[in-house]
Amino acid sequence: MNKRLVALPFLGLALIAAKPAPPPATPPVSVMAVPAAVAADPANRWTLELSNGGKVVIQLRPDLAPQHVYRIQQLSAAGFYNGLVFHRVIPGFMAQGGDPMGTGEGGSKLPNVPAEFNDLPHVRGVTSMARADDPNSANSQFFIMLGPRFVLDHKYSGFGRVIEGMAAIDAIAVGEPPEQPTRIVRASIGGPLPAPPVVAVAAAPAPPAAPSAEQAAAPAAAGPTEETPPAPEPAPPAAEPVAPPPAEPAEAPPQEAPTPQ
Protein backbone atom coordinates (compact mmCIF):
# COMPACT_ATOMS: atom_id res chain seq x y z
CA MET A 1 0.00 0.00 0.00
CA ASN A 2 1.35 3.37 -0.95
CA LYS A 3 1.79 5.32 2.24
CA ARG A 4 2.15 8.57 0.35
CA LEU A 5 -1.38 8.23 -1.05
CA VAL A 6 -2.77 7.42 2.37
CA ALA A 7 -1.29 10.58 3.79
CA LEU A 8 -2.87 12.84 1.16
CA PRO A 9 -6.30 13.17 2.87
CA PHE A 10 -4.65 14.17 6.13
CA LEU A 11 -2.53 16.70 4.27
CA GLY A 12 -5.72 18.20 2.84
CA LEU A 13 -7.23 18.49 6.29
CA ALA A 14 -4.11 20.20 7.54
CA LEU A 15 -4.25 22.70 4.70
CA ILE A 16 -7.87 23.48 5.46
CA ALA A 17 -7.14 23.92 9.15
CA ALA A 18 -4.25 26.21 8.33
CA LYS A 19 -6.49 28.80 6.64
CA PRO A 20 -6.79 31.96 8.75
CA ALA A 21 -10.13 32.37 10.52
CA PRO A 22 -12.28 35.25 9.26
CA PRO A 23 -12.12 38.39 11.42
CA PRO A 24 -14.93 38.63 13.98
CA ALA A 25 -17.84 40.81 12.97
CA THR A 26 -17.80 44.26 14.54
CA PRO A 27 -20.67 44.44 17.01
CA PRO A 28 -23.12 47.28 16.29
CA VAL A 29 -22.68 50.36 18.42
CA SER A 30 -25.73 50.95 20.58
CA VAL A 31 -27.30 54.37 20.25
CA MET A 32 -27.54 54.37 24.04
CA ALA A 33 -23.74 54.46 24.25
CA VAL A 34 -22.55 58.05 24.60
CA PRO A 35 -19.55 58.95 22.41
CA ALA A 36 -16.47 59.80 24.46
CA ALA A 37 -16.19 63.32 23.04
CA VAL A 38 -19.82 64.06 23.91
CA ALA A 39 -19.47 62.75 27.46
CA ALA A 40 -16.24 64.69 27.99
CA ASP A 41 -17.81 68.08 27.21
CA PRO A 42 -19.26 69.56 30.42
CA ALA A 43 -21.70 71.67 28.40
CA ASN A 44 -23.46 68.43 27.54
CA ARG A 45 -24.47 67.83 31.17
CA TRP A 46 -27.81 69.51 31.89
CA THR A 47 -28.65 69.92 35.58
CA LEU A 48 -32.16 70.57 36.91
CA GLU A 49 -32.54 71.59 40.54
CA LEU A 50 -36.16 70.92 41.51
CA SER A 51 -38.44 72.38 44.15
CA ASN A 52 -38.94 68.90 45.62
CA GLY A 53 -35.32 69.04 46.77
CA GLY A 54 -34.01 66.75 44.05
CA LYS A 55 -31.19 67.30 41.60
CA VAL A 56 -31.29 65.75 38.15
CA VAL A 57 -28.41 65.45 35.68
CA ILE A 58 -29.20 64.73 32.05
CA GLN A 59 -26.60 63.66 29.51
CA LEU A 60 -27.30 65.68 26.38
CA ARG A 61 -26.75 64.08 22.98
CA PRO A 62 -25.67 66.61 20.35
CA ASP A 63 -24.55 63.68 18.22
CA LEU A 64 -28.23 62.73 17.80
CA ALA A 65 -30.12 66.03 17.96
CA PRO A 66 -27.65 68.95 17.73
CA GLN A 67 -30.20 71.72 17.23
CA HIS A 68 -32.44 70.55 20.08
CA VAL A 69 -29.46 70.22 22.42
CA TYR A 70 -28.28 73.70 21.53
CA ARG A 71 -31.76 75.11 22.21
CA ILE A 72 -31.71 73.52 25.70
CA GLN A 73 -28.20 74.86 26.33
CA GLN A 74 -29.10 78.30 25.00
CA LEU A 75 -32.28 78.68 27.08
CA SER A 76 -30.63 77.28 30.21
CA ALA A 77 -27.68 79.66 29.91
CA ALA A 78 -30.19 82.54 29.66
CA GLY A 79 -32.08 81.40 32.79
CA PHE A 80 -35.25 80.73 30.80
CA TYR A 81 -36.23 77.54 32.65
CA ASN A 82 -35.69 78.90 36.16
CA GLY A 83 -39.01 78.92 38.03
CA LEU A 84 -41.01 77.05 35.37
CA VAL A 85 -43.28 74.17 36.40
CA PHE A 86 -43.90 70.63 35.24
CA HIS A 87 -47.46 71.26 34.09
CA ARG A 88 -48.33 67.79 32.76
CA VAL A 89 -47.22 64.68 34.63
CA ILE A 90 -48.75 61.27 33.90
CA PRO A 91 -47.65 58.36 36.13
CA GLY A 92 -45.77 55.68 34.24
CA PHE A 93 -45.63 57.83 31.11
CA MET A 94 -43.81 61.17 31.28
CA ALA A 95 -43.29 64.52 33.04
CA GLN A 96 -43.55 67.60 30.82
CA GLY A 97 -42.29 71.10 31.51
CA GLY A 98 -40.56 74.08 29.95
CA ASP A 99 -43.63 76.24 29.24
CA PRO A 100 -43.42 79.82 30.57
CA MET A 101 -47.25 79.96 30.59
CA GLY A 102 -47.57 76.74 32.58
CA THR A 103 -50.43 75.57 30.39
CA GLY A 104 -48.75 73.69 27.54
CA GLU A 105 -49.48 76.50 25.09
CA GLY A 106 -46.36 78.62 25.46
CA GLY A 107 -42.77 78.69 24.37
CA SER A 108 -39.74 80.93 24.07
CA LYS A 109 -39.43 83.87 21.70
CA LEU A 110 -36.90 81.95 19.63
CA PRO A 111 -37.97 80.31 16.36
CA ASN A 112 -39.13 76.71 16.42
CA VAL A 113 -36.61 73.91 15.99
CA PRO A 114 -36.91 71.57 13.00
CA ALA A 115 -37.44 67.90 13.78
CA GLU A 116 -34.39 65.73 14.45
CA PHE A 117 -36.01 62.31 14.80
CA ASN A 118 -33.37 59.71 15.63
CA ASP A 119 -32.89 56.17 16.92
CA LEU A 120 -32.79 57.03 20.64
CA PRO A 121 -35.61 54.89 22.06
CA HIS A 122 -38.13 56.48 24.39
CA VAL A 123 -37.28 54.40 27.45
CA ARG A 124 -37.31 55.43 31.10
CA GLY A 125 -35.16 58.52 31.67
CA VAL A 126 -34.94 59.60 28.04
CA THR A 127 -35.59 63.31 27.55
CA SER A 128 -37.37 64.42 24.40
CA MET A 129 -38.81 67.61 22.94
CA ALA A 130 -42.54 68.29 23.03
CA ARG A 131 -44.22 69.69 19.94
CA ALA A 132 -47.60 70.39 18.36
CA ASP A 133 -48.99 68.52 15.35
CA ASP A 134 -46.37 70.09 13.10
CA PRO A 135 -43.21 67.96 13.41
CA ASN A 136 -41.12 71.15 13.19
CA SER A 137 -42.87 73.00 16.05
CA ALA A 138 -40.58 72.13 18.99
CA ASN A 139 -39.50 75.23 20.88
CA SER A 140 -38.83 75.08 24.64
CA GLN A 141 -41.05 72.38 26.15
CA PHE A 142 -39.60 68.97 26.91
CA PHE A 143 -40.66 65.76 28.61
CA ILE A 144 -38.83 63.11 30.59
CA MET A 145 -39.96 59.51 30.22
CA LEU A 146 -41.15 57.75 33.37
CA GLY A 147 -41.57 54.48 31.48
CA PRO A 148 -40.95 53.11 27.99
CA ARG A 149 -43.18 54.19 25.10
CA PHE A 150 -41.64 52.94 21.86
CA VAL A 151 -44.60 54.29 19.89
CA LEU A 152 -42.98 57.73 20.27
CA ASP A 153 -39.77 56.68 18.50
CA HIS A 154 -39.07 58.61 15.28
CA LYS A 155 -42.01 60.90 16.07
CA TYR A 156 -40.38 63.05 18.77
CA SER A 157 -36.78 64.26 18.95
CA GLY A 158 -34.99 62.60 21.84
CA PHE A 159 -31.99 64.65 22.93
CA GLY A 160 -30.69 63.13 26.17
CA ARG A 161 -31.18 60.80 29.11
CA VAL A 162 -31.17 61.12 32.89
CA ILE A 163 -27.91 59.80 34.36
CA GLU A 164 -28.38 61.02 37.94
CA GLY A 165 -31.42 61.78 40.10
CA MET A 166 -34.16 59.72 38.48
CA ALA A 167 -35.76 59.40 41.92
CA ALA A 168 -36.33 63.17 41.88
CA ILE A 169 -38.14 62.81 38.54
CA ASP A 170 -40.34 60.08 40.00
CA ALA A 171 -41.20 62.47 42.85
CA ILE A 172 -42.52 65.24 40.56
CA ALA A 173 -46.12 66.16 41.45
CA VAL A 174 -48.66 64.33 39.28
CA GLY A 175 -51.54 65.94 37.38
CA GLU A 176 -52.66 67.74 34.22
CA PRO A 177 -51.95 70.20 35.75
CA PRO A 178 -50.87 69.20 39.27
CA GLU A 179 -52.52 71.02 42.16
CA GLN A 180 -49.10 72.01 43.51
CA PRO A 181 -46.72 71.59 40.57
CA THR A 182 -43.04 70.89 40.97
CA ARG A 183 -40.85 73.73 39.76
CA ILE A 184 -37.44 73.94 38.16
CA VAL A 185 -35.58 76.09 40.66
CA ARG A 186 -32.54 76.32 38.42
CA ALA A 187 -31.49 74.79 35.10
CA SER A 188 -27.86 74.95 34.09
CA ILE A 189 -25.25 73.36 31.85
CA GLY A 190 -21.87 72.25 33.14
CA GLY A 191 -19.76 74.42 30.85
CA PRO A 192 -19.85 77.56 28.74
CA LEU A 193 -22.41 77.81 25.97
CA PRO A 194 -20.91 76.17 22.87
CA ALA A 195 -21.07 77.56 19.38
CA PRO A 196 -24.28 76.93 17.43
CA PRO A 197 -24.28 73.67 15.48
CA VAL A 198 -23.48 73.84 11.80
CA VAL A 199 -26.59 72.75 9.92
CA ALA A 200 -26.56 71.99 6.23
CA VAL A 201 -28.77 74.39 4.30
CA ALA A 202 -30.82 72.95 1.48
CA ALA A 203 -29.96 74.34 -1.93
CA ALA A 204 -32.43 76.85 -3.31
CA PRO A 205 -34.55 75.54 -6.18
CA ALA A 206 -33.27 76.45 -9.64
CA PRO A 207 -35.23 79.19 -11.43
CA PRO A 208 -37.60 77.95 -14.13
CA ALA A 209 -36.09 77.71 -17.60
CA ALA A 210 -37.10 80.26 -20.19
CA PRO A 211 -39.84 78.99 -22.52
CA SER A 212 -38.76 77.74 -25.91
CA ALA A 213 -39.88 79.39 -29.15
CA GLU A 214 -42.48 76.66 -29.63
CA GLN A 215 -43.84 77.15 -26.12
CA ALA A 216 -43.96 80.90 -26.57
CA ALA A 217 -45.97 80.51 -29.76
CA ALA A 218 -48.48 78.14 -28.14
CA PRO A 219 -51.96 79.57 -27.34
CA ALA A 220 -52.58 80.80 -23.84
CA ALA A 221 -54.46 78.65 -21.33
CA ALA A 222 -58.24 78.89 -21.29
CA GLY A 223 -59.88 81.39 -18.98
CA PRO A 224 -61.96 80.54 -15.92
CA THR A 225 -64.77 78.07 -16.44
CA GLU A 226 -68.28 78.17 -15.05
CA GLU A 227 -67.07 76.20 -12.05
CA THR A 228 -64.82 79.07 -11.07
CA PRO A 229 -66.72 81.91 -9.35
CA PRO A 230 -66.17 85.37 -10.82
CA ALA A 231 -63.77 87.63 -9.03
CA PRO A 232 -65.48 90.23 -6.82
CA GLU A 233 -65.56 93.78 -8.01
CA PRO A 234 -62.96 96.02 -6.40
CA ALA A 235 -64.22 98.21 -3.60
CA PRO A 236 -64.21 101.96 -4.23
CA PRO A 237 -61.07 103.68 -2.95
CA ALA A 238 -61.30 105.32 0.44
CA ALA A 239 -61.12 109.06 0.69
CA GLU A 240 -58.05 108.98 2.85
CA PRO A 241 -55.84 106.03 3.60
CA VAL A 242 -56.19 104.85 7.19
CA ALA A 243 -53.30 103.06 8.82
CA PRO A 244 -54.34 99.61 10.03
CA PRO A 245 -54.11 98.95 13.77
CA PRO A 246 -51.05 96.98 14.88
CA ALA A 247 -51.64 93.24 14.80
CA GLU A 248 -51.62 91.42 18.10
CA PRO A 249 -48.94 88.75 18.42
CA ALA A 250 -50.34 85.29 17.75
CA GLU A 251 -50.15 82.74 20.49
CA ALA A 252 -47.65 79.95 20.05
CA PRO A 253 -49.26 76.66 19.02
CA PRO A 254 -49.87 74.18 21.79
CA GLN A 255 -46.79 72.19 22.68
CA GLU A 256 -48.06 68.82 23.77
CA ALA A 257 -46.50 65.46 24.34
CA PRO A 258 -48.58 62.58 23.00
CA THR A 259 -51.45 60.92 24.78
CA PRO A 260 -50.31 57.70 26.49
CA GLN A 261 -51.14 54.53 24.59
> Does residue 155 carry a pLDDT above 80?
yes
Is the model more confident about 100 or about 10? Answer: 100
Q: 96-124: per-residue pLDDT in tens? A: 999 999 999 999 999 999 999 999 999 99
3-class DSSP state of 91: coil
* Best CA proximity match to 161, nearest among 115, 117, 120: 120
Q: Is the pTM of this model over 0.75?
A: no
Q: Which CATH class is domain 48-187?
A: mainly beta
If you average pLDDT over residues 13-20, what whole number do you get?
Answer: 50
What CA–CA distance (Å, rounded) separates 132 from 23? 48
Residue 260 clears pLDDT 80, i.e. is over it: no
How high is the pLDDT of residue 199?
79
Per-domain residue ranges for the chain?
A: 48-187
Of residues 244 and 228, which shows the higher confidence score? Answer: 244
| pLDDT of 203 over the 70 cut | no
Percent above pLDDT 70 for the chain: 65
As a whole number, the mean pLDDT across the chain is: 79
Question: Any idea which of 8-17, 152-161, 168-177 has the lowest mean pLDDT?
Answer: 8-17
Q: Which residues of 36-54 are buried (b: 16+ CB within 10 A; e: fewer)?
A: eeeeebebbbbbbbbbbeb
d(C-alpha 129, C-alpha 156), whole Å: 6
